[in-house]
Amino acid sequence: MQEKVLDGAGEGGVIPVGQVRRLLELMDRRVGGLDDALGHARQDHRAAPEDSRARTELQLVVHYLLYEVAQCSMQRALFLAEVRGRCFRATERALASASVAPSEGKAGAGGKAHRLARTHKGGITPAQYASPLEVVRLYETAMDAVEQMEILPGASGREDVEEMAAVCRAGKLLYMGEAFRVTGSEANAATCYHEVVELLAQASTPHAKKLRELAERIDLEMKVDRILGEYQSSSTTAAADTQTQLKGANGPHVSAEYLTEIPNNEIVVAKNVVQFPPDYQAVACKPVFVDIASTYLDFPRDDEDLELPARKPDAVDSSHSRNVGGISKDKDDEAKPGSKGNKWRWRWGW
């Protein structure tokens, strides 16, 4: 039943949620029936007389039912691990396609846009996004079930049990490597992939072969991506260096002609620019402003320069005597309110 559902979804395809639920319901029913049978077998075993054949047979029945319950739990955990592992790979494809070409959904498109988004983004909805750590926990659950099987007498050391334990450990290591790869620890991821290949080197079951091939493929893809990233970074650096060289070949000639060529231990000064403060040389016991004044100011040196033009006396204005404080008497009279006759006074009630 599990193989039919997995094959129906295609290689690496996401299994529909409805099929997963129906299959899990069948598994849970089987485990529930086995638990009921185990309870009745234990009750009969306790009721059987000691040192009897019936008690020995019931003990074997109890061990068989415990083995079947543990095996069903392991198969359920492995099936869920396969389902969530496919969801994780589909999640990576969806996020990669979304980062390369974001969707342009129209408002009100409804279920049609939702189905188109699933078709173009790896056949998965955001509700089905999975993390590699979820798959790691499912493989740990399967390992616990295998340990319960190994506790039973006669089960430890069997070839099929050892291979199932190797598959569970390899699956856990595989998705731990996926978690390392997602977080950027490629060295730890490569170590996990190599351990998976070593664990499943002698495995013969289809599940083990599929895990080994998946680990080899992911390791190879990671190496290819790293080589391509190094090549792209080197090509980008070379292009940037080329642009810098081109800019250096075309641009600096203009500014190099503008700046003076001086040794490295001196300050660069542009041509045709007055330096401030001025470059004077101070002498001991002489004020600095003397140098500045003697260099940049023109002082009279001849007697002719000392002669000043004769000043002509200003003509005395006769009306100046009438001004008091800069205001003439006529203007003072005009400023008074009563200087324009009685009309102005009567208007204001004076």
Which residue bears the tokens 């009721």?
47
pLDDT of residue 143: 93
Counting as low any pLDDT under 70, the low residues of the chain are 1-3, 5-12, 99-123, 237-350
Task: Give the model confidence (pLDDT) of 275-293 as tens digits.
Answer: 555 555 555 555 555 556 5
d(CA 34, CA 22): 19
- Write the pLDDT tens digit of every residue in 295-347: 665 655 655 555 555 665 555 455 544 444 444 555 555 555 555 555 555 55
Both structure tokens of 46: 């306790």
Please report the pLDDT score of residue 111 as a whole number. 46
Residue whose tokens read 């080899």: 216
- Residue 11 has a pLDDT of 67
Is the pTM of the predicted complex or chain greater than 0.75?
no
**Cross-strand pairs, 327:** 324
CB count within 10 Å of CB 116 equals: 13
What is the DSSP code string of 160-214? HHHHHHHHHHHHHHHHHHHHHHHHT-HHHHHHHHHHHHHHTTT--SHHHHHHHHH
Query: Residue 80 in 3-state DSSP?
Result: helix
Among left, alpha and beta (phi > 0; psi -120 to 50; other), residue 112 is alpha
pLDDT at 258: 42
pLDDT on residue 265: 59
